[in-house]
Amino acid sequence: MDAALIAGILIVLFAVFTVLRSVRIVPQARAGNVERLGRYSRTLGPGLNFVIPFVDRVRPLIDLREQVVSFKPQPVITEDNLVVDIDTVLYFQVTDPRAAAYEIANFIQGVEQLTVTTLRNVVGGMDLEKTLTSRDTINSQLRGVLDEATGKWGIRVNRVEIKAIDPPRTIKEAMEKQMRAERDKRAAILTAEGFRQSQILTAEGEKQSAILRAEGDRTAAILKAEGQSQAIDEVFQAVHRNDPDPQLLAYQYLQVLPQLAQGQGNTFWVIPSEVTSALQGVSRAFTESLPRSPATREVTEGRSDAKQEAVKAQEAADAAIADAEESGPRRLGPGTSIPDPLTGLDQTAAAQQAVHARKDTASDDS
């Protein structure tokens, strides 16, 4: 009884174990190769799969997603015999699980070695400067070579990227010096260009300002000349319209006199004869305009009568002389008198009276 029970339990456990071995669940984006009696049979896809227990063997699942592998820096010699360390990143995807499992033992290692070999071949034909500036070219060449070589492995290389290119330390220092010198050169060029532009703009501004200043001076001179012309014309019209007497003109002379001595370098100045005549006219005008006492009025009137008599005597003398010249030349001795037909006086006495009258007039004016 006990033996039969144990045997039944063993049979049930074996049946369960057999059923479990016959069922395989494959996750999404995974694939499993099935070997039947050691030979490839088929590839299991994602989902529920059944295999024959103890006959079929499922190999480790293969990831079908795109994978990223970063390789350690590899020393590469350039065309100008410089050793640089290049760090690469590879993006690939398994497209054929059977070929990836049976065409190469370790496809990741194979891809790494192929990448290093191809990289050395590509970079070996370039100098350092071209290597540093031609990353896109290197990436495209690497991708083409790797994609062609790994196609039979069931692998598709999507992209190859170079993370870093490290030249030797001495080369780095030389590159830094060159870069610093190039930047200093650019800075000097930009500074000189900016200074040149500023000088050009300054000159243009000064030119425009000089032109505008000259135009302003010209306009001001024209307006000033027009204003002076209009002022002179107005004064001329006013003088001729109002017919000023000599007294007003003499007053204008007096107003102009202080302006003659305003110059800083004037040590002496000349007064024209017209000014003295104007001063006499002004003094005469002020004298006539002042109120006079009866005595002063009598003296002044007496002087005026004396002047009038002197003027008449002078005119009579001039007329007598003219008549004598018309009657013919004759010699007159000293003391000879010529009778005046108008006054009855001789011309000699009239002339003497005229001379005395002039002297009296001059003494009265002084």
Alpha-carbon gap, residue 357 to 366, rounded angstroms:
14
Q: Going by C-beta distance under 8 Å and a sequence separation of 6 or more, which residues neighbour residue 132?
A: 165, 167
**Torsion, CA 129, CA 132, CA 136, CA 138, rounded to 10:** 80
274 contact partners, CB below 8 Å, separation of at least 6: 253
pTM of structure: 0.46
Domain definitions of the chain by residue range? 2-63, 67-167, 291-328+337-365
How many angstroms separate the Cα of 286 from the Cα of each of 62, 252, 295? 137, 14, 18
Spacing of C-alpha 109 from chain mean position: 63
Q: Where are the alpha helices (DSSP H) in the chain?
A: 2-22, 97-102, 107-123, 128-133, 135-150, 169-242, 246-260, 273-289, 294-327, 347-365
pLDDT band at 346 (very low <50, low <70, confident <90, very high): very low
| For residues 50-54, average pLDDT | 87
Q: Is pLDDT above 60 for 294?
A: no
18: nearest Cα among 52, 58, 67, 65: 52
- Both ends of the chain: CA-CA distance in Å? 187
Which CATH architecture group holds 67-167? 2-Layer Sandwich (3.30)
Q: Supply the pLDDT for residue 214.
A: 92
Predicted pLDDT at 19:
81
Does pLDDT of 236 surpass 80? no
Which tops the pLDDT comparison, 97 or 331? 97
* pLDDT value at 192 more than 50: yes
Q: How far apart are CA 7 and CA 135, in angstroms?
A: 71
Q: pLDDT-derived band of residue 270, with 50, 70 and 90 as boundaries?
A: low
| 31 pLDDT higher than 70 | yes
Tokens 């395989």 locate to 24
